Amino acid sequence: MDRWTSSTGRRWLGSGLVSLTVAMLAGVAVAQPSQPLDVTGPTDRQPPTAIPQPTAPPPQGLAPLSSSPAIDDAEFNAYRLGPGDSIFVGVQRFPDLSFQATLDIQGNVVLPLAGTLSLDGVTLDQARDTITQLYNQYVIDPEVSVTLTTQRPVEVTVVGEVPRPGFYPLQAPQLSVALVTAGGATTLADLRAIRVQRTQPNGNILERTVDLFTPLRLGQPIPDLRLQSGDVVTIPQLDPARLDEYDRNLVATSTLAQPEIVVRILNRASGSRGIEARFGAITLPNGSRFLDALAQSGVNPDVAAYNRIAVLRFNPEKGSADTILVDAGAAVNGDLSQNIPLQTNDVIVVDRNLLARVTYGLNAFTQPFRDVLGFLLFFESLTEAADSLFGP
């Protein structure tokens, strides 16, 4: 079917472009328009409609990613283009109209024939529909596809149970990358309820709850939600009432946890005769156990009270210290119940007399510790009184 335009008097063939248009296509590579696109089009056609913006209301409350309404899922998962993104636009039957481009600092790309188009803040589907409308002025029924080839770096905020909460640029914009960049999950984190909050261009705020623990426990691929600039990722604290449903040791040995932990040693059983007092910190791989710390701390097994070594652990719910007594001799002989997994900021106390004095000090300290820092400062204060504490 032939198509005519009254404004130009040129005939367009339904199967392709006339020779003049082919010549224009050949020159696109060397002469790109520099002004924004004039979308008025030929006089007998309607101009392309504006790129639609989402109007869906924000969701009410938090819901798991798999159980959210479909419309909210589509809105949350839809990627919005911005400066630095690279795309490939393919047009079937018209390869000269296909192109690959990177959005400039203003979010613009240059289309063959059609000129400059802003794609800042639009989804891939919206970009495809708009480009289809523009190309429809020049060819009949263009079949356009838009593919994201390179995603721009994103900047997200990570807060909650991570060693280094803060604002991070990510080259790979995945949820697991954000978690690891912030130092990994702490031993108090609940990876079943990671929250991702996203503010839409129209002001709507969307939130999703993502479970990384269950796939880890079942040996399944980790769902790696793709993040966008401005996202806020919150790693919540584990509810003590749900400890039976959560395997901290499994998380500690995974790549999602902080790679190292710091353990303090309060020790009078170091050196050749066990008289050199020592209070210090050692760094261990996350997932390490009691014997790993004992081996690195330099405890002399000939003088240590191996059957009664204490691991003091801060209890954030009570603001106090929990005492775990360990029989190191049994642990050495293969009793796994005594070779307990360690957590960061644990304090290992070697020597019975020393443990008695520490216990007395904890009992005399009637006020709860406000946080783990106060718990550690208590032991720092013990070193300041080293003369009385480590005396004979």
Residue 44 has pLDDT above 50, yes or no: no
**CA end-to-end span of the chain, whole Å?**
106
Residues 155-182: what's their mean pLDDT?
93
User: Could you tell me the pTM of the whole model?
Assistant: 0.63
pLDDT in tens, 328-376: 889 888 898 999 999 888 998 887 666 777 777 777 766 778 778 888 8
pLDDT at 320: 83
pLDDT in tens, 215-237: 999 999 888 788 988 999 999 99
Among 19-33, 189-203, 263-277, the minimum mean pLDDT is found in 19-33
pLDDT at 300: 64
8 Å CB contact between 116 and 37: yes
pLDDT band at 99 (very low <50, low <70, confident <90, very high): very high
Measured CA to CA, the distance from residue 103 to residue 119 in angstroms comes to: 8
Residues 156-179: what's their mean pLDDT?
93
- Using alpha carbons, select from 139, 141, 144 the residue that is nearest to residue 18: 139
pLDDT band at 66 (very low <50, low <70, confident <90, very high): very low
Residue 169 has pLDDT above 60, yes or no: yes
Measured CA to CA, the distance from residue 354 to residue 309 in angstroms comes to: 10
pLDDT at 372: 80
Residue 85 has pLDDT above 90, yes or no: yes
Sign of CA dihedral 296, 298, 299, 300: positive
Residues in a beta bridge with 232: 157, 197
pLDDT at 301: 62
Measured CA to CA, the distance from residue 37 to residue 114 in angstroms comes to: 7
Measured CA to CA, the distance from residue 224 to residue 63 in angstroms comes to: 17
Name the residue type at position 81. L
Measured CA to CA, the distance from residue 387 to residue 392 in angstroms comes to: 9
Among 102-106, 135-139, 194-198, 307-311, the minimum mean pLDDT is found in 307-311
pLDDT at 13: 34
Residues 256-265: what's their mean pLDDT?
89
pLDDT at 383: 58
Neighbours of 376 (CB within 10 A): 17
pLDDT at 101: 95
Residue 129 C-beta-side C-alpha neighbours within 13 Å:
11
pLDDT at 201: 76
| 213 three-class SS | helix
Residue 148 has pLDDT above 90, yes or no: yes
- Using alpha carbons, select from 292, 275, 382, 387 the residue that is nearest to residue 342: 292
- Packing angle, helices 372-384 and 352-364, rounded to 10: 120
Q: Which domains does the chain have, with CATH numbers?
A: 3-60+68-150 (3.30.1950.10), 154-252 (3.10.560.10), 260-389 (3.10.560.10)
pLDDT in tens, 276-332: 445 678 899 988 999 999 888 777 666 566 778 889 898 877 888 888 999 988 988
- H or E stretch covering 250: helix 248-252
8 Å CB contact between 156 and 227: yes
pLDDT band at 243 (very low <50, low <70, confident <90, very high): confident
8 Å CB contact between 14 and 1: yes
Residue 63 has pLDDT above 60, yes or no: no
Residue 49 has pLDDT above 50, yes or no: no
Average pLDDT, the chain: 77
Residue 159 has pLDDT above 90, yes or no: yes
More confident residue, 230 or 28: 230
